[in-house]
Structures are given as C-alpha cells and as structure tokens.
Chain A
Amino acid sequence: MSRLPMFPEALRQFLKKPATNLFPARYLPKSITGFLGKVAAGEATINPPVAVPKNFRGKIAYDRDACIGCKLCIRVCPAHAIEFIPETKTVRIFVTQCIFCSQCNDACPVSCLHMSDEFMVADADRYSENLIVE
C-alpha cells in the first residue's frame, strides 16, 4: 500500500494563512519601480515589511562632529568601505561597499558610528547621495 503522508498535510495547509509577507504590495504591480515611485509621491501605500529585530544591522549612521579621526574603523573594516578625508579629519563610508558587519561600531572609541534600521538601500547608481555617508 502506498503511503502519501504529505497529502493530508497539503490539504491542511490550504486552510492556513500564507507564511510569506506580501511586500512591497499586496498584489503584484505592473512595475515595482513605478509602484515605489508612487509610494514616494504619496499616491500609494506600501505593505510594511517584516519588522527588524532589536539589534539589526542596517545602513550605517555617522556622527561626524563626534569623530576624532583615529582611523581605527578603517583598520577593522573588512570591505575597505571607509575612506579617510585628511582635510576635515573625518571619514567617508561607501554603503555599496559596506558589508554591514558593524565592526567599526564596536571598534570606535567615541561611538560616533551606529547601525540604523534602514535596509532598503538599493539604487541604480552606486555613488548616489543616499549611498555615501560622510
């Protein structure tokens, strides 16, 4: 006798809610970029993403006034994403290069670097204003 234990399980799954979060829209729009443009213009609302955990490592945030220019973050950055600006004795962080390890946050002696909750940082231009933190 053949046994198909998946069959009753699949029937049971029919009655359950989908496990996936429908993001960014409940129904697939014709163009995702067009839809996100509409969201930016306030014409449509985004279906919220799954909440990030408390210590999530998102796009880096930098407090340039607190920075003392010790360059320790540059020495520990695995991706070589941080550049020193000698004129102002501060740093410039390239988010496209960043691997979100937050090692620079741990190493910074004055805690001027932090990880934000922001994770939607995709862009067609890798040097866009949004992707360079200084």
Chain B
Amino acid sequence: MASKPTYNIPIGPIHPALKEPILFTFDIQGEVIKGVDFAPGKTHRGIEWMGMRRNPVQIAHLCDRICGICGVSHTLAFSRAIEQIAEIEVPERAHYVRSIIAEFERIQSHLLWAGVAAHELGFDTLFHLAWRVREEAMDVIEYLTGNRVNYGIVQVGGVRRDFTDDQFPRIYQALETYEGLVGKLVTLFLEDTTIKLRCMNCGVLSERDALELCTVGPTARASGLAIDVRADAPYAAYGDIDVKPILPDVYADAIKGDVYDRIVVRLFEVVDSVRIIRDLMDQMPTGPVLWETKYAKILATCKKAEGEAIGRVEAPRGECFHYVRMNRSETPEAWKVKASTYSNQMSWLKILMGEQIADIPIIVASIDPCMSCTDRVSVIRDGRQGVMTGDDLHHLSVEKTRRMQE
C-alpha cells in the first residue's frame, strides 16, 4: 500500500475552536496528526512597555489586566517582588485577605475552564451549568472587592479593602453552596460516559515529559508531578495552613496524565480551595491591612528602593512569575512577566502528536492556555511578522556589545 500523502492544515490565528489568537500548523496523514507547530505572539499588547513608564503603585492595577481571569495572581506576584526590594512588611491580616481572594479566584477559574472543556467537547448543557455554578464565586468576589473581574484589591504593601464582620456570613454561604455542589459536579463531569470516551487516554503527557518540558500547575500535577508553589515556597498566608498538591490519584487509581486527569485535578482543587478558605477564615488575625495608608509615602519608598527580586505565585493555571529591578527611580528599570501558559505551551507538541483532528480543541484547551498573558514579544518588521531564532538573538546581542564598546 502506498504511503498516505501528508496534508498541511493551519488552525488559527483566529478560529472558533481557539479562545485566543494563536496559529497552529498541523501535518495530517488521514485523520492522524503527524507533526505540530505553533506560533504565539498574535495578541501582544506591550504590557511591560507600559509598565516601564509607570510607578509601582500604578503597575499594581496594570497587573490586574494582564489576564482576564487571574485578576489577583499577577498583582500579588508583582507586589511580592516590590515588597522584597523596598523591604516593606505586609501586615498579617493582609496576607489572609490576599489568600482568600486568590482561592476564590482559583474556584472561578477552574469552573470556567471546566465549562470551556465541556464546550470544546460539544457538551453545551454542562458548559452552561458549570458557568452557572461559577457565578457564586464571582458574586462573592464582587461583594468583597467591589467589582467582578478587575478586583483592584491588592496594592504594594497590603490590600486596599478589609473584610468586615458583616461580610463573613456571605462568604460562609458561598462555601456551603460549593460544598453541597461538589458531589454533583464530580458526578456530572467524571462519571459521564461521553466525557470518559473523549478524554480518557487522549492527549497523554507522561510524568517524564511533564518534568522535562518544565510544565507547571494543574498540567504538571495531572501528570503526577507534585509541584505547587503554595506548598513548595509558601507565600501570603499559605505557610500557616496545610496545602498539599492535588494529584489525579485522589479520584482515579492510576495517574495517566490524560485530559481526564486534568479535569480530575481541577475539580478536586476546587474542593481543596473551599477547605483552604475555611481554614484561613478560622485563623484570620485582626489588625491593619495596609502597611501605609498615605500614598505619597508608598510612592516615596518605592522610589528609594534599589535592587532586584522575583515574585512567584501559584495562579489557577500554574506558576506565575514576576521579575522586577528597581534603581532609585520612579519607574522599574526592568519588569518581566512570565505567565503559566509560557511554561505549559511546549507540552502541546507532545500531547497533540498522534491524536485525531477532532481532538484538537479539547487537547489545546486542556492546559488552560491564556495567550494574552503569555505573549511578551512579537517581531514585526516592514509589516511582516517573523520569528527570532536563537542565532538571531545571539547575533543581536553581539552587535549590541560592539555598539557599546565603540
């Protein structure tokens, strides 16, 4: 039998199966994917460029807008970096407020993802139900911070709003709602025959590949890597409570690293987040929530700061990493954002290989990609977009050294 011809199928940059702009190029033989390539950089917004022209107090709110879902993770990572450089001590209660909001964010982000996953499978009834359930977390976040999406609660040196005693019953009410719903969600997602058929043994990422490709967050945990910034390098109030990475073996017998395991990890992280919020609420100390209420003093302290630091936070999608360097000026000298999708996207090359065309949407969505958070660089010259290879960057670097020597 003659070998089948290979077809080249592009998907993207804008495509109904993709939630954000990215270009995939597949080599297809029959129905089977034989080669994968992708080109990010289609939704670059110049966030870092904007940040270099603003002071840290302003950047805190710019960070809220890096990602539409992780409204608090980026700000928290950035604030932690600045607080280390300027040696600002965050009040104890602020740590708890930050952690509680971060956990509510994890609940809403994972439920959003669960809905999107159901939608990519063509299971829209479940998609609508998941998003209906998600509203409870959104409502609590709105009640506590003032807005649904851009919370604007974290600031350098603490948080801008405290929880009052009369707000606690509403939080407990939401936690009870989720505790009551968990059994139902697990049944609807994990016992459904359609979902089992489509997700089991689909998009498998082995533990070794997950480690070698430096994946983070639920993608890594679904493959059996026990990594979680909250447990490995506790920040905010996570050091005071018990946090363990959730692996798929909490539900299934074996860890396979397929799409189904990624659903398991995310659903059980929702369960764990509810438990964490309860623990945090029980231990919440009293006191101020902002290191300094006079903004002129925060600005002056940041301006005097000198040095570099990194802030790491476990965002719902994985590790979110901010590097900041301050050099006695109003604006940071350098600010680098590494969103979790940046670490996870290379796993697409492995998990898409050998799968069928119909599985592309769910496998692509299974790592919970967020392209607009990831895209940091886009090279466009004479109206054409290009790719910088390692050699090109080396060449540019040598040229710059020569220029500086002259």
> Which stretch (B59-67, B81-89, B98-106, B340-348) binds chain A?
B59-67
Bound together, the chains give a CA A100 to CA B145 distance in angstroms of: 12
Kindly report which residue of chain A lies nearest to residue B296, judged by CB atoms: A72
Residues A57 and B295 in contact in the complex (CB < 8 Å), given A5-B187, A13-B129:
no
Bound together, the chains give a CA A57 to CA B153 distance in angstroms of: 12
Size class of the contact patch on chain A = 20 to 34
Contact of A76 among B58, B64, B147 (CB under 8 A): B58
Cβ-defined contact, B65 with A76, below 8 A? no
| Residue A103 interfacial (CB < 8 Å) | yes
Bound together, the chains give a CA A103 to CA B191 distance in angstroms of: 47
Kindly report which residue of chain B lies nearest to residue A70, judged by CB atoms: B296
| Residue B49 interfacial (CB < 8 Å) | no
Cβ-defined contact, B142 with A53, below 8 A? yes
Cβ-defined contact, B188 with A6, below 8 A? yes
Cβ-defined contact, A99 with B188, below 8 A? no
Measured between beta carbons, the chain A residues less than 8 angstroms from B192 are: 3-6
Interface string of A14-29 (1 = CB under 8 A from B): 0000010000000000
Cβ-defined contact, A3 with B160, below 8 A? no
Contact of B150 among A75, A77, A99 (CB under 8 A): A99
Residues A2 and B123 in contact in the complex (CB < 8 Å), given A76-B295, A78-B59, A103-B57:
no
Q: What is the minimal beta-carbon distance from B126 to any residue of chain A, in angstroms?
A: 6
Kindly report which residue of chain A lies nearest to residue B51, judged by CB atoms: A78
Q: Which of A5, A103, A107 has the most CB of B within 10 A?
A: A5
Cβ-defined contact, B147 with A57, below 8 A? yes
| Residue B55 interfacial (CB < 8 Å) | yes
Bound together, the chains give a CA A14 to CA B146 distance in angstroms of: 33
Cβ-defined contact, B55 with A53, below 8 A? no
Cβ-defined contact, B193 with A4, below 8 A? yes
Residues A55 and B161 in contact in the complex (CB < 8 Å), given A4-B194, A6-B192, A103-B57:
yes
Cβ-defined contact, A78 with B54, below 8 A? yes
Q: What is the minimal beta-carbon distance from A17 to any residue of chain B, in angstroms?
A: 12
Contact of B147 among A13, A19, A100 (CB under 8 A): A100
Bound together, the chains give a CA A107 to CA B290 distance in angstroms of: 13
Cβ-defined contact, B61 with A103, below 8 A? yes
Interface string of B44-60 (1 = CB under 8 A from A): 00000000001101111
Task: Give the interface of B toward A (CB within 8 A).
Answer: 54-55, 57-62, 64-65, 123, 125-126, 129, 132, 135, 142-143, 146-147, 150, 152, 160-161, 184, 187-188, 191-194, 293, 295-296, 299
Given A3-B191, A107-B295, 17 additional A-B pairs, CB 8 A: A2-B193, A3-B193, A4-B192, A6-B129, A10-B125, A57-B152, A75-B55, A75-B295, A76-B57, A78-B59, A78-B61, A100-B150, A101-B150, A103-B58, A103-B61, A106-B160, A106-B293
